[in-house]
Amino acid sequence: MDVYEKLKSLGLTLPEPPPLGGLYAPVKRTGNLLFCSGQGPTLKGIPLFTGKVGSDLTVEEGQAAAKACTLNVLSILHAYTGDLNRIVSVVKILVFVSSAPGFFQQPLVANGASQLFIDLFGEAGRPARSAVGHNELPGNIPVEVEGVFEVT
Amino acid sequence: MDVYEKLKSLGLTLPEPPPLGGLYAPVKRTGNLLFCSGQGPTLKGIPLFTGKVGSDLTVEEGQAAAKACTLNVLSILHAYTGDLNRIVSVVKILVFVSSAPGFFQQPLVANGASQLFIDLFGEAGRPARSAVGHNELPGNIPVEVEGVFEVT
Amino acid sequence: MDVYEKLKSLGLTLPEPPPLGGLYAPVKRTGNLLFCSGQGPTLKGIPLFTGKVGSDLTVEEGQAAAKACTLNVLSILHAYTGDLNRIVSVVKILVFVSSAPGFFQQPLVANGASQLFIDLFGEAGRPARSAVGHNELPGNIPVEVEGVFEVT
């Protein structure tokens, strides 16, 4: 089953690539690697979630936000590659979590991103990963996800 | 026009590479990629800016700090490569912004870095990017910039 | 002297790879690069240190924590490669330091990681590096270390 059919079977729709929020390229290629700019949990540029995980948002909401970030990562990869099936490996992701004081479950939040990559790409989608807490993120989003991908 | 003439036309002078602030290499090469260590807005090792953006510093000052970080990144790339014209792509930057509570405009601050790369390298200088907030950065600097570059 | 003999001569024992703390791969390979997931200062999954550097922990304790993180990075590289002598370069590390308000010595803490890499791999082990402060890290650990490595 290809990636687009898997998205469909999960009940997910690939969003439009988010409007640029500054001077950067959504994706940059070097060799067989694609470096993706950090994406927030937005739809058409509007945050679906704001605030800090551990106070404003629960872990479950944080996971949903991480999944929304990941859909945006996929949207810019689709726009860049023209075909998500060309992605052969999710190499590395970095998950930034806006964290309330005393919130220590950033890895649980980050699972919301990893799970979608694994659902879509199987074990090749299981990334190396760091998940860390931040006092503030752009636009008061709770999660931001960046990644490195290998393509054919 | 080469990179050094562009720097001149922008009224900018390449600083000396900053003194090392610890046990690391300013630049490490693997294949055609150069990984640059995070650089602060310093001159001869002295911070030009300190404090948090959103309280101690305005967005505009934060952008000036990001530009100063970028000049240091360029200084270590020049020292490593001997010729900045060998850089064919600014692949990815990560911009760490020391952020006051409630400061959410890290992307605007990071534009101070991106703009200089674009001015010098054109569209090849437009990087993939993440911009995130931190509660504290080394030496109380407001911004730190690291990057991955492709060379010939 | 090979890496394992150097570890022995430093009085260090390679720990077992830590249990996975979420949905990720400890190491992902692309080309000759290994991307390692962020590791904390744990032994058998139990944190050896918790809290923030600058309040709960001294700089020296932070350095010991960074060294413990690095041993875990080495443990997952050993498990992945089967032979740490295959590592030809420590390309880049990112050192996340849980930082008390007003703590600005993240680079000193990160030296605890760099020093061990240099001890084991010589100048090839001297990494490009960023060291930054965070308000919270997973499980209340004081330090997390991720890295990119080149192998034969």
A117-140 pLDDT, tens digit each: 999 999 999 999 999 999 999 999
Answer whether C111 sits within 8 Å of B135, measured CB to CB: no
> Which among C135, C141, C144 is the top mutation candidate for probing chain A, defined by the most A β-carbons within 10 Å of its own β-carbon?
C135
Tell me the per-residue pLDDT of B84-132, one tens digit each, with 9 for 90 and over.
Answer: 999 999 999 999 999 999 999 999 999 999 999 999 999 999 999 999 9
Residue A32 token pair: 């067989």
pLDDT at residue A84, as a whole number: 98
Window 35-64 of B: residues touching A by CB (8 A cutoff) are none
Contacts of B115 in chain A (CB under 8 A): 23
Task: State how far residue C135 is from chain A, nearest Cα, in angstroms.
Answer: 6
Taking only the tens place, the pLDDT of each residue in B37-46 is 999 999 999 9
Indicate the angle between helix axes C106-121 and C59-81, nearest 10 degrees.
40
Sheet holding A128-134, edge to edge: A27-30, A33-39, A143-151, A87-98, A128-134
Is A32's CB within 8 Å of C30's CB?
Answer: yes
Pairwise CA distance, residues C134 & C126, whole Å: 24
Is B1 exposed, middle or buried (CB count within 10 Å of its CB: 0-12, 13-18, 19+)?
A: exposed
- CB-nearest partner of A127 from C28, C96, C134: C28
Nearest residue in chain C measured CA to CA from B29 = C91
Compute φ and ψ for B66, nearest 5 degrees.
Answer: -65, -35
Give the pLDDT score at C1: 81
C98 inside 8 A of chain B by CB: no
- Average pLDDT per run of 10 along chain A, which is 152 residues long? 96 97 97 98 97 98 98 98 98 98 98 98 98 98 98 96
What confidence tier does B1 reach under pLDDT thresholds 50, 70, 90?
Answer: confident
User: Which residues does chain B have within 8 Å of residue A143's beta carbon, measured at their own beta carbons?
Assistant: none
Is C32 in Cβ contact with B136 (below 8 Å)? Answer: no
Nearest CA in chain C to B52: C102
Nearest to C23 among A33, A104, A115 (CB): A115
| Interface check B88 vs A, CB under 8 A | no
Partners of chain A (3+ Cβ pairs below 8 A): B, C
* Residue of C105, C126, C132 with shortest CB distance to B24: C126
Q: Is the pTM of this model over 0.95?
A: yes
Question: At A35, phi and psi to the nearest 5?
Answer: -100, 120
pLDDT value at residue B28: 98
Q: How far does the CA of residue B91 sit from the closest CA of chain A (Å)?
A: 6
Residue indicated by tokens 């990112």: C94
Please give the radius of gyration of chain A, using alpha carbons only, rounded to the nearest integer: 14
ipTM of the assembly?
0.97
Whether chain C has a CB inside 8 Å of the CB on B134: the answer is yes
Would you say A15 and A71 are in contact if contact means Cβ atoms under 8 Å apart?
Answer: yes
State how far the Cα of A78 lies from the Cα of C43, in Å rounded to an integer. 41
Of chain B, the percentage scoring pLDDT greater than 90 comes to: 99
Q: In degrees rounded to 5, what are phi and psi of residue A80?
A: -80, -45
Which strands make up the sheet holding B128-134, listed edge to edge?
B27-30, B33-39, B143-151, B87-98, B128-134
Mean pLDDT of chain A: 98
Strands annotated E in B102-142: 128-134
B8 close to C (CB below 8 A): no
Q: Which residues of chain C have pLDDT under 50?
A: none
* Cross-chain residue pair C150–B27, CB shorter than 8 Å: no
Say if the Cβ atoms of B35 and C128 lie within 8 Å: yes
Instruction: Inform me whether the C-beta atom of residue B76 falls under 8 Å from chain C C-beta atoms.
Output: no
Give the type of residue at C103.
F
Distance CA B152, CA A108 (A): 41
**Number of residues written out for chain A:** 152
Largest CA distance in chain B: 43
**Which partners does chain C have (≥3 C-beta pairs < 8 Å)?**
A, B
Q: Cβ distance A99 to A62 under 8 Å?
A: no
HSE toward the beta carbon, residue C29, CA cutoff 13 A: 10
Q: Which domains does chain B have, with CATH numbers?
A: 3-151 (3.30.1330.40)
CA distance B98 to chain A (A): 9
- B111 Cβ partners below 8 Å, 6+ apart? A22, A23, B63, B66
| Chain A residues touching residue B32 (CB < 8 angstroms) | 30-31
The residue of chain B with its CA nearest to that of A138 is B104
Contact call for residues C82 and C89 (beta carbons, < 8 A): no
B132–A139 CB contact, under 8 Å: no
Residue B79 at interface with chain A, using a CB cutoff of 8 Å:
no
Q: Which of C27, C135, C144 lies closest to A130 in CB terms? A: C144
Query: How many other CB atoms sit within 10 Å of the CB of residue C77?
Result: 25
Residues of C with CB below 8 A from A128's CB? Answer: 24-28, 35-37, 146
* CA gap C47, B52 in Å, rounded: 31
Both tokens assigned to B56: 């101690």
Contact status of A14 with chain C (Cβ, < 8 Å): no
Q: How far, CA to CA in Å, does A82 sit from each of A44, A78, A85?
A: 20, 5, 9
